[in-house]
Amino acid sequence: MGCGTSGQAAPSRTSGSVLASAPVSRNSALDLPDEELLLPPQADAQPPPAVAHSVVLVGMPGAGKTAIGKRLAARLGLPFRDADAEIEAAAGMPITEIFARYGEPHFRDGERRVITRLLAGPPLVLATGGGAFADAATRAAIKASGARTLWLRCSIATLLRRVAGREHRPMFLNADPAEVLQRLMTARHPFYAEADLTVTCTDESPEVTTRRVQDALDAVVPPRRLPVGLGDRSYDVVVGPGLLSRAGGLIGPVLPARRVVVITDSAVAPLHLPALRAGLEAAGIAILAEVAVPPGEASKDFSRLQEVLEQMLGAGVDRRTAVVALGGGVVGDLAGFAAAVAMRGLPFVQVPTTLLAQVDSSVGGKTGVNLKAGKNLAGAFHQPRIVLADTDTLATLPLRELRAGYAEVAKHGLLEGALWDWCETHGAAAVAGEADALTHAVLESCRLKASVVVADEREESAEGGRALLNLGHTFGHALEAEAGFDGTLLHGEAVAVGLGLAASLSARLGHCSQEWPSRVIGHLAAVGLPARIADLPRRFTIDALMGRMAKDKKNRDGQMRFVLMRGAGDCFTSSEVPAEAVTALLRDEGATG
């Protein structure tokens, strides 16, 4: 099995331009005129396609792209094409000769145009030359076509057995095949890792490998990409299952260099760090250090920040080294702040593993640590290069953590409107861990968060804007700070109570009907969240909570600001909230003093 052998075709006109030569494989090409890129006439019509997308096979010479591709095409009812054979047919000469006469740069240009032309037509299975997907422009063209890309990954031992007897090929002339293959693997594997799927090939029969390839295609759930449009700081939020194992291929294209420091916590590390590590290494991304902090809000302080920075700098980071945050909101905030201040700013990647982080804290660029005076009072806006929300990680969350994350989904529902209706109908399924419900919750929350961040990135709008995302948080942050961030009250639990208080305050001030506090509190309680101060395991005094809220970072000119609601989808910010109305509400809801 190989990646295609040279075919012969009737001679046709070739370009006479002078091209630079370079010692590469036969997968090189020349700049062919447009008429020579036309596909040769096909035989009888193919059966109706069984899939909606083309499938592009990538991999090393000897990976079996042609052998597997032909069998896969037959199974899927699609035509099969070999990009190398198409180029040779158009040029009227073997690729070895094309390559020798015209050189690699023009070859890659012609190869790219052939592949683009093939993928612009009806769905097919396409085997590419070993160097095609390693070419940035060709790789971009393949991705832009919407085709599914699949890397046939083989060990060097398997490849050596398969290429035995091919020593006449240019890449192997007067060279050790093992050294040649190793060099090519080192250069190309980081780019192959950007494929949508990877199937590891062994010495099993082509039929068995083809069956595994088809099974992988049938099972794939393509991730969703939500853009956060911030000009030259724009990035994507990628949502879907299995992203940790593909992390390197997803992260690599947005990094200035293929080296990172991973910051996580000691609870998340044993669960998800091995998969992330493997995903990064598959794309040739070096991990300079892995820093694990204790789990919990207590790690978000200056002493822990200094420890993280010292470890990062001790590992030899430079300004092109990226910081990868693997974990929940605490890790994301801490790692993001470390990235913002280390060397005055390092690239940053969010890999959130909790529901709360996936739906809220990982998107938008807010980073920071807590002070004794309150939550997140020291920090910076530092946007990530990409956010990978692997929904598979949510299956490892304890129920309490899942519920806490859902509080932010409910908040987004109240801000958006239609999402609140979904919450009332499907929220229980999400909290129960139902995969489709959780995926919907993450997607729609990120969609809302992205739109708000784009409109008001630094929370500078006079009214509304990004401040609306703090619905329930003025109360919630005060409760968290007063609890001392000791783990007895999770952020999402505090937000849930805060949502109930915000709805009740809105009703007391005449902004919404009395129906809304009942609906909000009733729904949160139904999914297992605390919804009133009296539901919490400890007591709070009115004076202490009012003191905390007086130091909230959203306050202006010494006046407390609250996010209030007229109904789901109709929220607003206001400083016109009498202190006595707040104290009365706190007393009625269970605060003492």
User: Is 291 within any annotated ligand binding site?
Assistant: no
Q: Which residue is catalytic, options 112, 403, 412, 449?
A: 449
User: Is 590 within any annotated ligand binding site?
Assistant: no
User: Is 573 within any annotated ligand binding site?
Assistant: no
Catalytic-residue membership of 183: no
Catalytic-residue membership of 408: yes
User: Is 69 within any annotated ligand binding site?
Assistant: no
Cβ-count burial 380-400 (b if 16+ within 10 Å, e if not)? ebbbbbbbbbbbbbbeebeee
User: Is 375 within any annotated ligand binding site?
Assistant: yes
User: Is 510 within any annotated ligand binding site?
Assistant: no
Cα separation, 396 vs 409, in Å, equals 19
User: Is 360 within any annotated ligand binding site?
Assistant: no
User: Is 240 within any annotated ligand binding site?
Assistant: no
Q: Which two tokens stand for residue 297?
A: 């809000």
Q: Which of these, 338, 341, 289, lies nearest to 314 by C-alpha position?
A: 289
Catalytic-residue membership of 426: no
Catalytic-residue membership of 344: yes
User: Is 129 within any annotated ligand binding site?
Assistant: no
Query: To the nearest 10°, the Cα dihedral for 139, 141, 145, 149?
Result: -10
Q: Which residue is catalytic, options 297, 459, 480, 493?
A: 459
Catalytic-residue membership of 81: no
Residue type, 258: R
User: Is 186 within any annotated ligand binding site?
Assistant: no
Catalytic-residue membership of 466: yes
Catalytic-residue membership of 366: yes
The CA distances from residue 137 to 98, 366, 420, 567, in Å, are 20, 34, 43, 49
Q: What is the DSSP string of 63-95?
A: S-HHHHHHHHHHHHT--EEEHHHHHHHHHTS-H
Task: Count how many Cα atoms sit within 13 Å of the Cα of residue 455 in the half-sphere of its side chain.
Answer: 15
Query: To the nearest 10°, the Cα dihedral for 295, 297, 357, 373?
Result: -160
The CA distances from residue 543 to 504, 554, 559, in Å, are 19, 19, 16
User: Is 473 within any annotated ligand binding site?
Assistant: yes
User: Is 396 within any annotated ligand binding site?
Assistant: yes
Q: Which residue is catalytic, options 53, 71, 473, 508?
A: 473
Q: Which residue is catalytic, options 35, 168, 174, 344?
A: 344
Q: Which residue is catalytic, options 277, 382, 411, 491?
A: 491
User: Is 84 within any annotated ligand binding site?
Assistant: yes
User: Is 329 within any annotated ligand binding site?
Assistant: yes
User: Is 233 within any annotated ligand binding site?
Assistant: no
Cα separation, 228 vs 232, in Å, equals 11
Cα separation, 73 vs 204, in Å, equals 19
Cα separation, 556 vs 559, in Å, equals 5
Q: Which residue is catalytic, options 81, 148, 153, 477?
A: 477
User: Is 143 within any annotated ligand binding site?
Assistant: no
User: Is 62 within any annotated ligand binding site?
Assistant: yes
Cα separation, 136 vs 142, in Å, equals 10
User: Is 65 within any annotated ligand binding site?
Assistant: yes
Q: Which residue is catalytic, options 259, 272, 366, 440?
A: 366
Q: Are 41 and 122 within 8 A, CB to CB?
A: no
137 C-beta neighbours (distance < 10 Å), count: 12
User: Is 169 within any annotated ligand binding site?
Assistant: yes
User: Is 408 within any annotated ligand binding site?
Assistant: yes
Strand pairing category for 55-58 and 148-154: parallel
Catalytic-residue membership of 515: no
User: Is 394 within any annotated ligand binding site?
Assistant: yes
Q: Which residue is catalytic, options 139, 466, 508, 548?
A: 466
User: Is 374 within any annotated ligand binding site?
Assistant: no
Q: Which residue is catalytic, options 111, 408, 444, 480?
A: 408
The CA distances from residue 290 to 262, 287, 311, 494, in Å, are 5, 7, 9, 31
Specify binding-site residues for substrate: 84, 108, 130, 188
Specify binding-site residues: 62-67, 84, 108, 130, 169, 188, 329-333, 353-354, 366, 375, 393-396, 408, 473, 491
Specify binding-site residues for Mg(2+): 66
Specify binding-site residues for Zn(2+): 408, 473, 491
Active site residues: 344, 366, 408, 449, 459, 466, 470, 473, 477, 491
Specify binding-site residues for ATP: 62-67, 169
Specify binding-site residues for NAD(+): 329-333, 353-354, 366, 375, 393-396
